[in-house]
Copies of this chain bind each other. A is one copy, B any other.
Amino acid sequence: MRGATIKDVAKSCGISVSTVSRVLNDRPDVNPATREKVQSAIRELAFVPNNSARNLVKTETANLAVIVRGFNNPFFARLLKAVETDVYNSGYAMVLHHIDSSADEIMAAAMLAAEKRLCGVMFMGGRFDYAPKELNMLSVPYVCVTYTNTFGSLADTDYASVAIDDYREAWRAVEYLYERGHRRIAAIVSGKADRSVSELRYRGYRDALLHFGIEPDEALVRESKDFSLAGGYRATQSLLESGADFTALFVIADTMAVAAIKALRDNGRRVPEDCSLISIDGLDISAYVDPVLTTLEQPAEDIAHAGVKLLIGLMEGTGGNAHSYFPAILREGGSVRELD
Number of interface residues of A (CB under 8 A): 68
Residues of B within 8 A of A63 (CB): 63, 93, 95
Q: A85 near B: Cβ within 8 Å?
A: yes
Residues of B within 8 A of A55 (CB): 115
Residues of B within 8 A of A269 (CB): none
13 pairs, A vs B, C-beta closer than 8 Å: A35-B102, A46-B133, A47-B137, A49-B107, A51-B111, A51-B114, A54-B115, A61-B116, A63-B95, A93-B95, A95-B96, A259-B288, A262-B288
| A window 285-300: CB within 8 A of B | 285, 287-290
Residues of B within 8 A of A17 (CB): none
| Whole-angstrom distance between the Cβ of A224 and the nearest chain B Cβ | 13
| Whole-angstrom distance between the Cβ of A338 and the nearest chain B Cβ | 23
Q: A265 near B: Cβ within 8 Å?
A: yes
**Known pairs A43-B133, A94-B96 / 13 extra A-B pairs, C-beta < 8 Å:** A48-B114, A50-B115, A51-B114, A51-B115, A61-B117, A74-B74, A74-B77, A84-B97, A93-B112, A93-B116, A94-B95, A96-B96, A290-B290
Partner of A107, one of B42, B80, B229: B42
- Is the Cβ of A43 less than 8 Å from the Cβ of B131? yes
Q: A11 near B: Cβ within 8 Å?
A: no
Q: A332 near B: Cβ within 8 Å?
A: no
Residues of B within 8 A of A94 (CB): 95-97
| A window 73-105: CB within 8 A of B | 74, 77, 80-81, 84-85, 88, 93-100, 102-104
Residues of B within 8 A of A71 (CB): 81
A26 and B109 CA atoms in complex are apart in Å by 13
Q: A24 near B: Cβ within 8 Å?
A: yes
Closest-by-CB residue of B relative to A26 is B103
Residues of B within 8 A of A93 (CB): 63, 95, 112, 115-116
Q: A284 near B: Cβ within 8 Å?
A: yes
- Is the Cβ of B285 less than 8 Å from the Cβ of A262? no
A24 and B108 CA atoms in complex are apart in Å by 8
Residues of B within 8 A of A74 (CB): 74, 77
Partner of A39, one of B26, B104, B258: B104
Residues of B within 8 A of A107 (CB): 24, 39, 42, 49
| A window 106-135: CB within 8 A of B | 106-108, 110-112, 114-117, 131, 133-134
Partner of A48, one of B137, B265, B287: B137
| Whole-angstrom distance between the Cβ of A156 and the nearest chain B Cβ | 21
Q: A340 near B: Cβ within 8 Å?
A: no
Residues of B within 8 A of A158 (CB): none
Q: A60 near B: Cβ within 8 Å?
A: yes
Q: A205 near B: Cβ within 8 Å?
A: no
| A window 267-315: CB within 8 A of B | 284-285, 287-290
Q: A32 near B: Cβ within 8 Å?
A: yes
- Assuming A74-B77, A97-B88, A111-B51, is B60 touching A136 (CB within 8 A)? no
Closest-by-CB residue of B relative to A85 is B98
